[in-house]
Structure 1
Amino acid sequence: MIDNKTFDVIIVGGSYAGLSAAMALGRSLRNVLIIDNGKPCNRQTPYSHNFITQDGIKPSVIAQKAKEEVLNYDTIKFLNDFAIRGQKTKNSFEIITENGKKIKSKKLIFSTGIKDTMPEIKGFSDCWGISVIHCPYCHGFEFKGQKTGIIANGNTAFHVASLVNNLTDKISILTSGKSNFITEQTEKLKKNNIEIIETEISEIEHNNGNINNVVFKNEKKINFDAVYAAIPFVQHSNIPASLGCKLTEQGHIEVDDFQKTSIEGIYACGDNSTRMRSVANAVASGNIAGAMTNMELINDNF
């Protein structure tokens, strides 16, 4: 039951970071409510990597096992719903959900993730997280030695190319318009035999998310096995900002070393508050957020 009850902590977002925070709190006997609607940003990704003990496991399998373990703690409850609004009351916070629930808590943890803004390239979103990828550490090993594209420009493209160059020598940067590398960058790319293609992209041909060809607006096609893409994002939830939490220049929720936001009583963890976007990092930051929220509750009452 969640009605007419003030929880110690409401965790908005019940994926890896949120579940990790909940476990830390549950083990401290805190009354916790996790609110989540079961739509993590990596739900299309077939396998998770670079996380010891879970390497190569499907993300949904990791999340389901984590949820089962967390809900073994009697003080943790789970609500399948979507938080749409939040407000500060006199002595607590209140979260309002899509289904009309109004729930109060002493503290808040946001593990709400981010939402990728897909480019208007046919087939791109179908391949996202499968063969159009964002992180060499999460996905690069699986495409080692294979023909690889990088959809980016300038400093971002140069940085990704330097990382991927260790994994394959078959790299092309697809700027989809005029490139803007400085002279030193252009020289280094040339030295490493990294091709720059400026023609705009119109489509990614694929088979169930696995790339066959990148199609350009001049109708030329080039076969790639994988494509890295640096795309913009927005916060998946606007509640933290509406409560006054500061954002960084990049658009992440600003937190200190202990995952505390600029607003007293509110913590954030996972992809919404860091550029280090991985399941392993989400779990680590969630664990810190849970422990520090518990410490704040202790300081309030001890």
Structure 2
Amino acid sequence: MEKLATEQYLQATDFLKSEARPLEKALFEFEFENGSRGQVLEELKVYQNEDGGFGNGLEPDFRCEASSALATTIGLQHLIRVAADQSEPMVQRAIQYALNTFDEEKMGWEIVPKEVETAPRAIWWNYGGDWPWGNPSAEMTGLLHHYKGLVPADFLEKLTAHAIVYVNVEATNDFHELQCLVKLMRELPAEEAGKISARVREIAHHSVTTDQEKWLDYCLLPLQVVSSQTSFLYEDFKDIIPANIQHLASSQTENGSWEPTWAWGRYEDVWETAKQEWSGVLTLDNLRVLRAFD
């Protein structure tokens, strides 16, 4: 199987340490170099608001300060990476934000707040867009399972039942939603995960791009839903994984990073900042998956 050359790894390392946001730099050092967990938490605090939610450009494509469900799922995933448990105040505040902003009528969360339209953002980030329920409500449901000690049991049971019905009856082939469903599967108890596994697998076969000629475009790569050989969908895509790893190794830029395959189409000066931030996020993500398959 294709491997990342030592020189390429060192270039990626240099990029993360010199050009990425302090958050991605701290995460890299924690995950790859036995760095400080406390430093990750300090950098992540920059993005957490008084209401407990995350915002402030944690998701680089929208720059509003206000908290959002989407940014909060990202913040909680980072907290899980550093093994922050339910005694961590940042976790407690983020989970409380999720509980406080739950929409009973929609049985989920609005992906971004009204304030998204007050700041520079990608052209697709507008308030009240027609987003499928699973993005980010399926992922948030999984996160509540991860920190279930902070969540009322009856609420979590009701939400999980709704998620199972939604996935089997209404879930779309939108690949952003699929990524959230995969994260939900990772956190659900085995019995509940088994109730949606067939449908999630079916969606994956519709949504993951296996045509190698399209991998340089904006699409869902196999390695974006199969992060290791223990991943739920590994057996479904294992034959194409070596080619996808080779693609990652060959698509690294000269400065050691991986760049986004999309652009905002407006706010060009701010996009350059967001693009640089995304390069740090993507470079770290790709190093994680390449290490997992090495």
How high is the TM-score relative to the length of structure 1? 0.27
Where is the strand percentage greater, Structure 1 or Structure 2? 1
Larger Rg: 1
